[in-house]
Structure 1
Amino acid sequence: MSTNPHFEYRPVAPSPQGAAARAADLSLIVAGAIAAAQIRFADIASVRLDTSFVAFSCAFALVLFPVFGVYQSWRGRSMLRLAGQLALAWLIVQCGALVMTFTLHKSGVVSRLWLAYWTGLAGGALICVRLAAHVVLRRMRHAGMNLRSVVVVGRGLYCQRMLRNIAQSPESGFRVVAVFNADASSRVSASGITTFEDDAAFIAYVRQQGMRELWLALPLSDERTILRFVSEFREELVNIRFMPDVSALSLFDGGLTDVIGMPTINLTASPLPPHALLNKEIFDRCFAALALISLSLLMLAIALAIKATSRGPVFFRQLRKGADGRVFRIYKFRTMRLHGEQSGVVMQATRNDARVTPLGCFLRRTSLDELPQFINVLLGDMSVVGPRPHAIEHDELYRKVVAGYIQRYRIKPGITGWAQVNGYRGETDCIEKMQGRVEHDLYYLRNWSFGLDMKIVGATIVKGFVGSNAY
């Protein structure tokens, strides 16, 4: 029997499967284009449908939707995150089709209003259909249908926690039917689940019942048990999934990645996988470009007001740390009078700070002084959402006294963040405030999703521009 621990990943078949799912999406895209044309052009005789644009969108959707994981199985995954991935994929599809249309299509001009209606209608339909299907599947699974049986090999509290999580998430569609306890000194049990203490009896049960899902809930150190079951079912159609207990080692939820062709578990690396970073990067650049265009008149008015009310430059520039500790120059509207500071010392603005101009006080309270940071986003130094960057002098101070502080720089810093919309903005005049900010930043890193970014952007727009502790 071979002892080479070669893991072969066998993906679960997607729930909205193959050609049917793709055909349904294309139908919704075309129907959205037709409906948008009916809304845009009140006179039926004047309805114009740019068929080449629609064809380009369908072609891009066929290529890009699978790349963004739109057709992956929903089982056990966050629907909010899937909706965010689909929304981002659809926006990129439309951008790609628009570029192709204006590059190759020479007849006529695309109606901007029609394009906006189409993008909104088709995007909403794509998401709503999936949400409806998800609701139906949840109800079926709660009723005991469409379930996937799982057998688990585990030990101790970690295995017990996994069994509890599965039992509390019936909508995921997984049901544990048997457990092999790999540690005779500890007890693993759950209501309605057969428990085995003998591995041979457990293996016989898996084969007799024709089980197709085997989960290994074991610590990394239990190599012997891992190899035992991988080797045992190597030549059989059993999906073996290793869910290692790395809670004592990893700062973030360790994900499996590929490095030089070898499977690697990240313990203290970037918590976002490469495809997520790419999605975030595309969104950031597009959002920043649109923000700078739409806010250009407001920013020009603020710049003129600054020049008219106080001496000095329009922009305040300061060195900050970005992703992986790379130093960049941040841009903000100047809110203080020109003053001297001791080298290596940065004094935060305090309440009734004499250095802050009356206009600067307004800009700080409304966060309008942060608008130039969209330039940093467009340059690739910052993100729209992420941990707020601090002065380098403060970094050197807080990294020594606040646990996990430096881990904030695993990703690009943001204009707004989870800490800011939860009240942690402005002056940090005590360690407890900075500790609270860092805890919220680390929560964001552990739980990032496109949906969470949209929630933070929405919260910033609704309530984040005015804060009692921003001065």
Structure 2
Amino acid sequence: MQAHVRHSVKNGAFVNKSLSVGMFCEPLHGQELAHETQGQTHVVRRLRLDDLNELMTLSGEVSFAEIDQVHILTPWQHAPLVMNNVNLLRHLSAEVIVLAFDPQVGQNLASRQEFGRSLQSSRISICAVEPPISGWNLWLKRKEDIAIAAVVLTLLLPLLLAVALMIKYDSEGPVFFRQRRVGLNGSIFEILKFRTMYMHQTDPDATRQTGKGDPRVTRIGRFLRRTSLDELPQFINVLQGTMSIVGPRPHALQTKTEGKSLEELVEHYAARHRVKPGITGLAQVHGLRGELDKVEKLRRRVDYDIEYIDKWSIWLDLKIILKTLPLVFYDKSAY
């Protein structure tokens, strides 16, 4: 299996990175990729993978390099197998296109001195995985995030300073709590929160979820968690680009429900990583906050996350933001 990594620029607005993968036969030529995209694509390197099992390796590369399109070229007789195994890439934000190719047709066309059309004429293009948000919508959502985060941090700067002083007065330790969480395409990032626990009892890996009446939470911490003020530093994450204002809430690496990892309990759990995690989300405005102590709670959250991804629009984002505002003052699920 061979692959092309390519870069493209559309309308001068933003840069897309794409990966073209050839499986069990010769991949698309770099010249053809450039021709089909009117010179907006350039192949910068090639990969070789031996079988479908290496799709997981490809998955990691797509995530790390923030690639937004994957082309899989395969003989027609292997297309059903490829379509079945492409599920290994369904947790990515990338678009996955399967190109079913018949080498014999290509050879026949080439023998007629029609090589320039041989690849185009001998394949069928199948969009196996559609990107959740792409093109100008992706650009628009990013602008929305930057604008809202900048306004919130500017307007609430006095409040942020007051909260920081209260935390320092209430208990020893840093103002911020940093925790590794799972973000876009399964990548790991460091989330920022105001510290709400006693320093010696903080749990960076979330081996134990915070419960109601948790003795590890400080006096100020209870107030911050109840009002969601502990989440305010995440607007910094939004400006950094690791989070969005609206999206599935990110979970810590060691979070478990009923003693099992979240991926074990919900088959399509990883699909929620196809968009950036959010400060708030569709699940949260439906009352699904707090401790994930039951499998049913987890399933309902994931279902709402997938619904958000499937139905995304700027108007849905704004609707969720407006529904979130009253929850700052009172949310029975927050503790």
Bin of the TM-score, shorter chain as denominator length: 0.5 to 0.7
Partner of 2:67: none
Instruction: Tell whether the 8 Å contact from 1:337 to 1:357 is kept in structure 2 after alignment.
Output: yes
State how 1:417-436 maps to structure 2 within 5 Å.
417-436=281-300
Structure 2: how far apart are the matches of 1:422 and 1:333?
24
Give the 5 Å matches for 1:357-368. Answer: 357-368=218-229
Q: Residues of 2 paired with 1:452 and 1:264: CA distance? A: 32
The code of the aligned residue for 1:400 comes to E
CA root-mean-square deviation: 3.3
- 1:95-114 matches, within 5 Å, as none
**Residue 292, structure 1, aligned to residue 153, structure 2:** yes
1:150-194 deviation digits (Å, cap 9, x = unpaired): xxxxxxxxxxxxxxxxxxxxxxxxxxxxxxxxxxxxxxxxxxxxx
Go from structure 1 to structure 2 and tell me whether the alpha carbon gap of 1:367 and 1:340 turns closer, same or farther (over 3 Å shift).
Answer: closer
How much has 1:451 moved relative to structure 2?
0.3
**Number of residue-to-residue matches in the alignment:** 226
Residue in 2 that maps onto 1:355: 216
How many angstroms does 1:362 deviate by? 0.8
Deviation of 1:340 (Å): 4.5
More helix by share: 1
Contact 1:256 1:264 (C-alpha < 8 Å) held by counterparts: no
Q: Structure 1 or 2: larger strand share?
A: 2
- In the superposition, relative to structure 1, how do residues 298 and 256 fare at CA in structure 2: closer, same or farther (>3 Å)? closer
Give the secondary structure class of the aligned counterpart of 2:230: helix
Look up the SS of the partner of 1:356 in the other structure.
Answer: coil
**1:384 and 1:414 in contact (8 A); partners too:** yes
Kindly indicate whether the alpha-carbon contact (under 8 Å) linking 1:324 and 1:409 is maintained by their aligned counterparts in 2: yes
Residue 274 of structure 1: CA displacement?
Answer: 2.6
TM-score, structure 2 as length reference: 0.61
Pairing 1:454–2:323 present:
no
> Displacement of 1:354 after TM fit?
0.5
SS at match of 1:399: helix
What is the CA–CA distance in structure 1 between the aligned matches of 2:206 and 2:327, rounded to whole Å?
A: 32
- Of 263, 271, 274, which residue of structure 2 is paired with 1:410? 274
> Structure 2 vs 1, CA of residues 406 and 328 (structure 1 numbering), >3 Å: closer, same or farther?
same
**Structure 1 343/319 Cα, relative in aligned 2: closer, same or farther at 3 Å?**
closer
User: What's the counterpart of residue 325 of structure 1?
Assistant: 186
1:400 aligns with 2:300: no
1:133-166 Cα shifts (integer Å, max 9, x gaps)? xxxxxxxxxxxxxxxxxxxxxxxxxxxxxxxxxx
1:378 matched residue in structure 2: 239
Q: Distance in 1 between matches of 2:182 and 2:205?
A: 15
Displacement of 1:266 after TM fit?
A: 4.4
Structure 1 CA distance for aligned equivalents of residues 312 and 237 of structure 2: 21
Matched, 1:274 2:135: yes
Comparing 278-287 with 335-344, greater Cα deviation is found at 335-344
The separation in 1 between residues aligned to 2:242 and 2:265, in whole angstroms, is 26
Contact kept? 1:398, 1:405, Cα under 8 Å: yes
Aligned partners of 2:125, 2:147: CA distance in 1, in Å?
Answer: 32
Amino acid at match of 1:393: Q
After superposition, the C-alpha distances for 1:269-304 in whole angstroms (9 at most, x for unaligned) are 531123211111111111111111011111010000
- The sequence identity of aligned pairs, in percent, is 46
Q: Quick one: structure 1 residues 363 and 263, their matched pair in 2 at CA, closer, same or farther if it must change by over 3 Å? A: farther
**Alpha-carbon distance, 1:431 to partner:** 0.8
CA distance in 2 between counterparts of 1:459 and 1:465 reads 12
In 2, distance between residues paired with 1:334 and 1:342?
11
CA contact (8 A) 1:386 1:417 kept: yes
Q: Contact conserved, 2:180 with 2:252, CA < 8 A, in 1? A: yes
CA distance in 1, matches of 2:323, 2:232: 17
- The 4+ residue runs of structure 1 with deviation greater than 6 A are 249-252, 255-263
Change (3 A) 1:467 1:264: farther
2:168: which partner in 1? 307
* Deviations 1:82-101 (CA, angstroms, capped at 9, x unpaired): xxxxxxxxxxxxxxxxxxxx
Matches within 5 A, 1:224-243: none
Cα deviation, residue 441, structure 1: 0.4
Q: For 1:464 and 1:268, how far apart are their aligned partners in 2? A: 37
Q: Secondary structure at the match of 1:461?
A: helix
Helix, strand or coil: the match of 1:299?
helix
Q: Which amino acid aligns with 2:195?
A: R
In structure 1, the residue corresponding to 2:191 is in which secondary structure? strand
1:336 aligns with 2:197: yes
Extract unaligned runs of 5+ from structure 2.
1-10, 14-75, 77-86, 100-119
Q: Pick closer, same or farther for the CA change 1:355–1:286 going to 2, 3 Å.
A: same
Structure 1 pair 344–451 and aligned structure 2 pair: CA distance change class (3 A): closer
CA 312–441 in structure 1, closer or farther in 2 if over 3 Å, else same: same
- Which structure has the higher relative contact order (CA within 8 Å, separation 6+)? 2
Q: Is the 8 A contact 1:424 1:433 kept in 2?
A: yes
Q: Give the letter for the 1:359 counterpart.
A: I
Cα deviations by residue, 1:395-450 (Å, 9 ceiling, x for unpaired):
78101111311111101000000000000011111111111100000000000000
Deviation of 1:385 (Å): 0.2
1:165-176 aligned within 5 A: none
